[in-house]
Each structure stands twice: as C-alpha cells, then as structure tokens.
Structure 1
Amino acid sequence: MATAKKPTENHLTCVICTEVFTDPATLQCHHTFCKSCLLKYTSTQPEAVQAKSIPCPSCRQQTNVTNPDSPVEEWVSQLKPSHVIQGLMDDFGPGTKAVEEHVCSVCTKQGKTTPATSWCSVCDVVYCEGCLQLHNVMPGLCDHEVAHLSDHTKTKVKHRFMCQVHRDKPTELFCKDCKQAICTICCSIKHRACKDVDTIESMTPLVKEQLTSKIERLRINMAARNNNITRRKSTIQDVKSNSQTFKDQVMKTRDTVMRAIIRKEKQLLHDIDKATDEQLHELQADIQSQEIDLQMYQQQYDFTANAVTSNCEMDMYAVYESMGETFTENRDTDNRPAAGRVVLTHDLDKLSQAVDELQLGEVQVVHGVSHPGSFPVLHHTIDCKEDVDGEDPYLYDVTVLTGDSSAKMMVVADYDNKRLLTYYTPNFKSFHYQLKCSNGPWQIAKLSESQIAVSVPDSKEIVTVNVTPFPELLSIIKTSKQYYALASLSPSQLATGTYKQSHSVDILDMTGRILRSINTGVIGSPDFIHVTRNNNLIVSERDGKSLVCVTSEGDAVFTYTPTGDRALSYPLGITTTSTGDILLVGYDSHKVIQLTESGQFVRAVLTQQDGLICPRGVCLDADGLLYVTSGRYVKVFKFCPR
C-alpha cells in the first residue's frame, strides 16, 4: 500500500530552493515562493526591476508593486502568502511538529522535552507552564493571545491575522487604494496619502464575495480547459489516424510507381534481347554467305593451279578464256553493309529530373468555376453558431489553408462575437477552435498555408495568427489608421484600406509603417482588397457602384461600373480563380458574379436560388471548392459540368 504524501511535499515546497517555504509570498499569478528566493531571483532580472515589477520564476507573469519607488527588498517584503498557503502553513508548516507532539518549543531548543500546555497565536510557538509565565511577563508579549492545549485540542486554533510589516500588530484595516491589508501603524505612516481605507470587518464580506466569484470563474475556466483538453486529445488521435492513412497512400503510390518501373525494366530488357537476336541472326547469315563464296574461290583456285602446272596448253587457254568471263564477279571485294549494333540511350540527367519531378499524389481533373458550362452544387454547409454565443455570428470573411498536410483548415472572421473560428476537416470530420480578438475582425489575408493576418479596425490593429489548426496569436501590429480591407502584397508588405482618405490604400511593412499610399479613384473607403496573380489590387466598397483594379504602384487597370440589372449594390468580398477570373460578392443582390481578368462580365455564378442570403466573404481552395459566408453559415460549393 502506498504511503500518503505529506502536504509539504506537494504544496509547501518552494520550486527555487526545493525546501519548505520560509516566509512565503504569493504573486498575482498565484505562484508562491520563499521571499528570500524571490528577492534573489528578482535582483537578477534588470528588465523587471526597470519595469517596476516582480517577475514570476515559473510563468514569467509580472506582478505590479505597491510602491515602485521603494527598494526591491521592500517590494518583496510587502507580498503575503495566499489564504490557502497560509492555512497549510498553520497546520503543517515549520513549528507544527512540536505543537502536535505537545513539546515546549523553548525547552526543545535547550534539549529538553517538557510537555506543552499552551500556544501563542502571535508567536506561533507552544509553551510549557514555566516558559509561558516568562512569556506573559515580557514587555510586548503580555498582550498576545494564548490558547490552552488540551488532550482533544491540537493546534486547530485560528491564526490571528497579523501585519506583514509589524508582526506584533494585528491587521485591522484595508487600504483600497493600495489593495493591501494593513495595521494601524502602517496606516498612519505609509498610507497617510491614501483616500480610501476601511476596516477588515467591513471588507471581509466583500472580499469573500469576490473570492467566491473568482472560484466560480476558475471552476468555469477549469471546465473549459478540460473540454479543450478532451477535444485536443480527440484531435491528436484523429491526426495520428489521418497521418497513417496518408502514409499508407504514399506507400501504395510508391508500390504502383515501382511496379511501373519494373514493367519498363522488363520491356527494356526484352527490347535489348530482341535487338541482339536480330543482330546475331544477321551476322550468322552473312557468315554463311561468306563461306559459300570461300568454297567457290577455293574451287577456282584449285582448277587454275592444276592448269598452270599440267604443261598442257589447251587446259591453260581453256582456263584463261573462262577467267575473262568471270573475273569481274570473282574479285575479292565485300560491298555488303556492316552489321548493325545495339545501342542503349541512357540519359541520367533526364532520368534524375524525371525522378525529382515525380509526384506521388493522385491526379484528378477538377471542374472549377471558370470551366465553361460548369454549374455550382452545394457541397456542405457549416453552422458557425456556438451554444454560448450571445449573438448570431456576423461572418465577414473566410479563407482556406492547407498547412503541412493535405487536410484543409478553414478560418472565419466573426465580427460581432470578436473572434476567429478555425475548422479542421481531416477525413471529412470537423473540429473547430477559436481565438478571441480585442474587437471585431474584418478581412483575412493569407500570408502562407499556415499563417494569416487579420484586420481589427476598431482597435487600429492588424494581428498575425498561426493556424495549426489551433489559432495561435503571433503578433499585434499597431497602426496609425483604422484599416478595414487587408491583403498580402508580398511576404513583407500588406495592402490596407483606409477610411475616407484621399489615397484610400496604404502599403505597409510588417511593423505597420506606411511605405506608400495609392489613390483608387472612385473608391474612397475600401471594404475588401484582393491581390491578383499579376500583383494588381482589386478593391470594393459597400457604398460604391464600381469595382476598381489598379497596379501596386497606383496605375489604373480598369473600373467596372455596370448599369441596369447588373448594377452593383453593396459589393464586398473578392477572390480570383487560377485562370485570373474575378469573383465578386453582392451583399444586397445575394449574388456572386464572375468577371474576366480585364473586368468584363461573364455570369452570375451564385444567386439567392443557391441559398445565398446577404453574402460577404468569398474564397476558393486548391480543389476548386468555393466558400461563401452567408449569415451565420459558410456555404461550400463544388462545380460540375452540365
């Protein structure tokens, strides 16, 4: 059976010195340390000393000090332990062992084991009868509160609330200006300039009420963290499963590629054998022909030699006459073409390049919105309403990231609820998370496949966020103007839309510094900006009747101002296709229209008949799916051929 741990092992040990607390002090982050340890640590942090705050050695959170102009030693000395730590120190801290064993603390120091009969709540020491008498006659100690120890009472006496500065004085007052419990001496010396000082008795109900409320908030936060942990654990399992699925697909694709390579190898070896056999057959036939000629020449040689050596003139002339007729044919010449040779063309550079360019992914033909004759089909709908939402989501913009895997991550800007929502869809299972903003987020600019920038106009901020798929705040860029529209012009530059300025678009660096300003003509307060594949800027404005396209230097490209049935009414979100076509959202017309890259009308891609109600944001993903925010929903469409 396991031995129960003592409270000092878990709750009363300083993480700096790893010993039981000596004069503990609790910071605003609720971490507790020995005052001496905390003083030594703070003294080694010049930035914190300069900032007039005490850094937490555990979480680095800063604790504001009451008197910044006083020495660091006084900063730490004014800290006090939490009520929980103080209670544990009272019951289990140093000095309680002698109380529990009823041995006089004074006699113990002299090597004696005299039974204790009383306990002083101010000195926090137990005394025998003799030592108690000495205690009671000493000046400054005679008014201490002393409790009698019986066989049934072991130190369960309430510890008096004593002043942290004047330890022999009870804490009777609370300074609301300094938020500090003090004694009457502290009040008359250090808090004379404070305007709001009340009694401990009056403050205790309020403090208890506030602590009770804090307990409830902590309980809610703990429940929320537990839920987040549960979701993340579920996500971890799904990510692992998803990863294994992708790995299996890669290995399956690799096997397919290897089988194709082996087939090509077999075909190439077969071609070599076939070409070699043909060459050998040709050479054997040529040898046979040469052997026949050789036999013929041998016969002529023997016949001619016999005629010459026979001394018979008739035989000689007969051979001579026949030689004249066949001399041309029997010349020792070989006009036959040389036999062919097998050659293997083996371009290693080309082969290496082909291997480098080899993609083990699946190739699919996708019909996008720009495909002639394609029509939209609702793929799925995402409801962004949360049970705890006070208001329905006001979805202003949407974008889709792919991260380090093929799983998609959708990010939505919810203006009214002041948050970013991320949706992770591996294996078509959705998990969503959120990141609170200081105010309502407006437009989302994709910086990479895992990072975004978001405009927060009411706070004059642009925030950068990493999506993993958990949204993690990377930085807050403070701006001099209230920017609504936002797009990424380059990895180091942002295009932003200002409010009713003569030059309505500013180009910023990633610190918020204005590099240059651009005049967009008839549009004075852009709501949305989009950067095209040619690095041109397309801007829209809710109150405008036009769509304007300019270069990144401010030169006009086109202005689209239709009339009649096609007249623009409350134009908002903008995106472009891989072919350069422009998709523009019409909020009042409940449409998404398609224009050519040069600003010519093509068609209405989506209308109210497709379920669009007051659309705002729009984006396309790598697979050609179209995402549109409509009310509290994100509607996703795929395009099919007719």
Structure 2
Amino acid sequence: MSQLKPRRVIQGLMDILEASPDLEACSVCKEDGETTPGTMYCTICDDVFCDGCLKMHKKMPLLRDHEVIDVRTHSNRKPKASSFMCRIHKDEKVKLFCKDCRMAICTVCCSIKHRKCDDVETIDVMTPLVKKTLINETRTQKNKIKSYNDVISSTNSEIEKLSKNAQVMKDQVQKVCMAATDVLLRKEKELLERIDKLTEKRVEELKAFRKSQEIDLQLHQQRHEFTNKAVEGNCVEDMYGMYGSVGVSRIEDTSEDKTPITSSIIFTHDTDKLLRYVAEVQLGEVRVVQGLSDRTSSPVLLQTLDCSRQGYTDCDLSDVSVMTVDGIKVTTVLDYDRLSVFYTSNKLSFKKCLQLPSALIQIAKLDGAQAAVTLPDTRQIAFIKFDPEPTLLSTVKTKTEYYGLACLNSSQLLAGGIESRASVDILDRKGNVLKSIKTGVIMNPLYIHVMRNNNVVVSEGEVKSLVSVTRDGKTVFTYTPTGIRALTWPRGITTTKKGDILLVDNGSNKVIQLTESGKFVRDILTARDGLFCPGGICLDDDGLLYVSCSESVKVFTFE
C-alpha cells in the first residue's frame, strides 16, 4: 500500500470536519448512491468509512494495519504518523507489490524471496487498483449480506408460518377425532338405551306374571284350607260340598301351563372385528406439500370450479385471480362479458356474478382487496372492490384499446393491447400514459405480469413468444422454442415465490415452467391433468395453482 499521507493533509481534513457538524459520506456507500455518514478516516487510503464498511476494511489482510481516526471525537491533536512497514524486515518500508505472489513487500524481500517472480510493481502504482478492487469487494459483500439477511428473514417467516400451520392442523385433527368419538358415544348411548328398554319390558312382563301367580296362590291356599277343614271336621255335608269342585279344579290345572317363558337379553360383539374396523378408520392424512418451488413435485387436482352457464353451449374464460378477504378465499373469473366470483370458506363455496359494461379480458390484483379489469371494447379500465362481494367502484377512460393488464405498484398499472405498437404503457389510476416500455417482438401484448425483480413479462399468441424486458425496455430474454416445444398460443403468466415463470400455452393445453432467466424446466400441467383451452393462471397465498379452462377453473396443489 502507499505510504502515509503528509500530516498537513490529515490536519486539513480534521479542521474541515471540526468546522462542520455534518459528517462526510462514507466513500464506499457513496459508490452505491447512498449517503451513510462516515465515522472513521483511513490515513493510508485517504477515505472516510462508516462503521459497517470499516469492518470490511479491517477484514482485508492488506488493510488491517492501516491507521484509522475517529472523525467524531478527534480534536486539534495531530495523528501519529505511521508507515507501511515490512512484517519480516521491521526497519524496511513496504514499497513494492509482487503480483505473482499477491503480496506487498519491501526491497529486501524482493531481492531475497521474489527474485524469480516475473511481475513486481510499486505500491504507488498498485494502490489505486487495490483500492478500486476492495471497494468493489465491499460492494459485493454488502449485496451478499443483504441477500443472506433476506434469506434468513424469509426462513424465519417460513418457520413461523409452519408453527402456526402445525397448530391449525392439530386443531383440525382434534375436531375430526371428536367427530369420530361422538359417533362412538352415540352408538354406545343407543346400545345402553336398548338394553334398558328391553330389560324394562321383560321385567314388567315377569312382574305381571308374578302377580297372577300370587293371586292363584291365595286361591289355592284358601281352597286347601277349606278342604282340609272339611276332612278334619268329618262333616259329611262339607266334604260333599267341596268334593263337587275337586274334579273341575284338576281339569283346569292340567289344561294351562303356568311355567313362565324363559328368555334372556344378550349383548353380542366381535372385539377383534371391532378393533380391525377402528384401526382402519382414517381421521385424515398429513403430507408435505412442496409446491412449485420443488421442480420434482407432482400436480394433484383439488377442486374444479364449474363456470358454465345454463343456455350457453360455450364458455370461454379469459383470466382468473385469487385473494383472501376477511378469511374468505375469493376466486374471481372473467368470462368476457361478466365477472364471476367464487367464495370459499371451510370448504363451502357459493358464486356471485357482476355484470360489467363490456367484454373483460385480464384482471390485475391491487392493494386493499381491490382489482382492476380491462374493458377493451369501450376503452375502459374498471376498478372493483371485494368485501367480499364485488362492487364496481369506478371506471376510467383510456385512449388505447387495452387487453393485457398488471399492477406495477400502488399507484401505477401496466397495460397493453392491439394498438400498443410493440410496447406496454405505464398508466396512473386515471388512465393517463406516463411512459411506454418496448416489448420487442410482442406486437400486441395480451397478457402481462410483473416479476419479483420488477422485470415485465408479456405474451402474445400470434408471434408464439414470451418476452421479458426491464422497465427501461431492455430485453432480458425472448422465449421462442422450436420443434416439439414450440409454443402454439401463449396466454396467461404468473411467477412462483422463487421466481420461476409459469406460462399457459392455450393451443397445446399446457402450463410450462421456466426459470427466472427464461430457461425451460418442464411441462407441469398437460391435457392429461384435465386442461382444455387454458387461458388465465394465478397462485394463491397457500401455493395452490388456479388455471382457467374453457368452462371451469382447475385448482391444483403440488406434492
């Protein structure tokens, strides 16, 4: 590195800093367009650093011995001068840099250990290059730190989401178990009540029989008493009086069986069979749903929303969007001349329709449970609020017949159509054109999507292409495959949380997955998955994929 700057230069810097309460901006942050106040001054690099950039400065082996001064507390005292001295030859100043060994060396080192090295330069010549390299390195490390912090923050959010989801699933398992337990308790109650009812009936029958037997017993006891008295009294008249009824009594006794009918109430059960049935009871299933981020995941059809209308033989859905309003999932489907809304809560679904002034092509989800819809026939954009029922808030007139629509930010929209002249327009909420973005080969952008990196992707069936451009109109990539992967009529576009692009190809009944840079990954959905004339596509907050087909919306999960 270069030697220590003259003391008067340092003192002049200190005088300037003391004269003004404002600290000079960090030299490294200034390269990134930031104005972070510098707190430390390096006497060798002649630069001001903030605390964060100073840490990076100290981590560099060739810079860690530099003298730094705290510009916040430094008074008029002059800093102690220091020289860049050789670590091996303590009395020698470092004046050279060996490019072969990437080491700062003194002249003694050069003559002894670096005689065979081919490229040796002076420190004064190398210092600007080293400084520039380190500034770039600090910028790179700063970006990596931000990237790692973002990943850690995202991971923390995912952990919190998993914990909350685990509790929700536990509650659901307990509810299912309680429902199954209620069935068993009800069956138990029915069996106990039947035992009580049958037992009570049989007991009443036996009590009635016992009562009749007790009455008959009293009659026989009286007859026995009278008969015995007549015999023992040896009264001829009484004996003949009783004798007349003896034969009749014997006939009555032999003609009727007084023995009660024997019956039992029993409970029969097969414990082994019961246990087998209980073991086969399915309270539910717990599985890992990876979502589309796992490129090996397989689609599973969860639900089909029927959008057909009575009296219509053909129903061509153009787009679909999903949002959650007050805990209710709201699925909005465009059917060219009407807007259909499906409300889903606790697996209960019902539908409501909203008629709009003209044909509807694409819907863009906005902030605050709102959406915007293109009405190209009347050159309008309609704004709709969901509460959760749809309400038309307003419409704005546009100079262009817009078809494609996307939300750029809270106050701006992206729109494109047949009069777009190979560009999409940035509009304000009043429909005014603020700027146009060139889209290359896409002459009439019909479907538009804004990616997480703020690049714009557009598709058009006629040119059979998907194009990604920056907001300045610079082409990022153009996806126009040939052969068996050639597009036939590209339409709806969406992106995953990881940045992968999902493109609907209407003619081949496919949904294609691409990387963020436009590289083919796989066909994630085909006609075998029930796709027929697919158009719009979107992902909800739970990672479910919605694809609008001819007369229905197919809802998929991936596992």
TM-score, with normalisation over the residues of structure 2? 0.49
Give the structure, 1 or 2, with the largest relative contact order (CA under 8 Å, sep 6 or more): 2
TM-score, with normalisation over the residues of structure 1? 0.43
